[in-house]
Chains A and B, each alone.
Chain A
Amino acid sequence: DAGITQSPRHKVTETGTPVTLRCHQTENHRYMYWYRQDPGHGLRLIHYSYGVKDTDKGEVSDGYSVSRSKTEDFLLTLESATSSQTSVYFCAISESFVYEQYFGPGTRLTVT
């Protein structure tokens, strides 16, 4: 299994509060991704990174920001959580863009 961890694994937060999810990898892969998974929608890309401090938006980036200060860590921040951001969030990594992405165990976020 690829060395990918996500923290926290579960979080309940209130509407309007900031939330940061962390993805940590030990594979030294260049590319890292954040997805959200919702019933009926499959996996949708939020943001991705192609190197330290290099990030770009995915298809559902509104309300989310990311940062990557080290190769191994990719942070996803919800500046002001909303109920529509209740979801399961997955981090993924790959050696080159798109090529064979490996997923972390996920973070279940509930916004009340």
Chain B
Amino acid sequence: GQQLNQSPQSMFIQEGEDVSMNCTSSSIFNTWLWYKQDPGEGPVLLIALYKAGELTSNGRLTAQFGITRKDSFLNISASIPSDVGIYFCAGQLRGNEKLTFGTGTRLTIIP
């Protein structure tokens, strides 16, 4: 099936640092969604993007729908301990209705 390449796979940062992660594909997507998952829980929707070039914020989180429609980016500013978790991107391919999920970026905050 279609693959979404999510990077980095893991990140180790200090509290207060900014975080950047991305999701790329060789195919064009209509929709990008970003989720966060805490251990033992289901993914929680953070941001949804529907237009190429769109930049959307949710508190300290900002996500962008890449102009080429083949990538998306998520930034977290001034990280705090509760940001720890796994972040997933998901996209809807043009011409294919079902969501495709990335394999996640695991964020760890070093004391």
Contacts and interface: CB of A to CB of B under 8 A. Distances in A.
Given A42-B102, A43-B88, A45-B98, A98 B42 contact: no
| Chain A interface bracket (under 10, 10 to 19, 20 to 34, 35 or more) | 20 to 34
Interface residues of B, number: 22
A53 B38 CA distance: 33
Interface in A83-112: 90, 97-106
Contacts, number: 48
B22 interface: no
Interface in A59-99: 59, 90, 97-99
Interface string B61-73: 0000000000000
Contacts of B4: 42
A103 B103 contact: no
A18 interface: no
B85 to A, nearest CB: 14
Contact of B42 (A40, A48, A90): A90
A90 B103 contact: no
Contact of A40 (B97, B99, B103): B103
Judged by DSSP, the binding face of A is: loop
Given A98-B31, A98-B97, A103 B102 contact: no
B92 interface: yes
Nearest to B33: A100
Most buried by B among A40, A43, A45: A43
Nearest to B99: A98
Interface stretch (B10-18, B43-51, B52-60): B43-51
Contacts of B41: 105-106
Contacts of A8: none
B88 A42 contact: yes
A16 interface: no
Contacts of B1: 59
A89 to B, nearest CB: 10
Most buried by A among B31, B33, B41, B99: B99
Interface of A: 4, 40-45, 48, 58-59, 90, 97-106
